[in-house]
Structure 1
Amino acid sequence: MDFPDEYHRILWWLLVATRGGQKRAMIMEILRDNPENINKIAEALKSNYRTAQHHIKVLLDNGIVRKEGDGYGCIYFLSDYYQKNFHMVREIIEEKK
């Protein structure tokens, strides 16, 4: 399936071309099913808080996730576009293999 070049390019860069792509893909998978805070994301990744925070910031800065609330209890969601088009994420991951 063809996707808008900009969305595909951003996702490919974030999930395949840079270090941490695998963790970012895992975060997207987590948020696809349930919004979570950074503590829960770090726990699911079996990673520390700062690592999860870094990857969430990258995804947030690129419009992949959005947040509700502020501070420690802030909850993160997959953006509406990526929630509706999650198959694009899976296809990029499959391309990598």
Structure 2
Amino acid sequence: MIDPDARRLLWFLFAGSRGGENRIRIISLLKERPYNTNQLAEAMGLDYKAIQHHMSVLEKNNMVTKAGEKYGVLYFISPYLEHHIDAFDEVKAAIDKKTASRSGKK
């Protein structure tokens, strides 16, 4: 069963605030392997500062953890998010479905 508090936090971070779509993309990348800020910026085609901002938001909300220092910092999904990955997947699927229906896709 999905924790309602985790679900609420995930909805806020990924659907209820600006930048949620980019944060979903970041988490989706980090599920595959760790990245540093520069690698994320390159992979996503976004500005380094924008990635820094999103990583700060994700870190403050316990979605990611980091290892290393300065430019060598690697980000990973947090143990909290790993534990609640079903809730993340549910929120992502709902957002994807809503986005697809807006654009006429199914």
TM-score, normalised relative to structure 2: 0.84
Q: Which residue of 2 aligns with 1:54?
A: 53
Which has the higher Rg, Structure 1 or Structure 2? 2
Q: Which residue of 2 aligns with 1:42?
A: 41
Misfit runs of 4+, over 6 Å: none
How far off is 1:94 after superposition? 2.1
Structure 1 residues 85 and 4 mapped into 2: Cα distance closer, same or farther (>3 Å)?
Answer: closer
Q: Within 2, Cα distance between the matches of 1:86 and 1:47?
A: 25
Q: Which residue of 1 aligns with 2:91?
A: 92
Deviations 1:25-64 (A, max 9, x none): 0000011110110000111111010000100100000000
Q: Within 2, Cα distance between the matches of 1:91 and 1:24?
A: 15
Residues 62, 80 of structure 2: 8 Å contact kept: no
Alignment of 1:1-97 (within 5 A): 2-96=1-95, 97=98
What amino acid does structure 2 have at the position aligned with 1:64? M
How far off is 1:84 after superposition? 4.2
TM-score, normalised relative to structure 1: 0.91
Q: Within 1, Cα distance between the matches of 2:86 and 2:45?
A: 25
Q: Within 1, Cα distance between the matches of 2:82 and 2:2?
A: 14
Q: Which residue of 1 aligns with 2:104?
A: none
RMSD: 1.2
Structure 2 unaligned segments of length 5 or more: list them. Answer: 99-106
Once the two structures are overlaid, the 10-residue window that deviates more, 78-87 or 15-24, is 78-87
Structure 1 unaligned segments of length 5 or more: list them. Answer: none
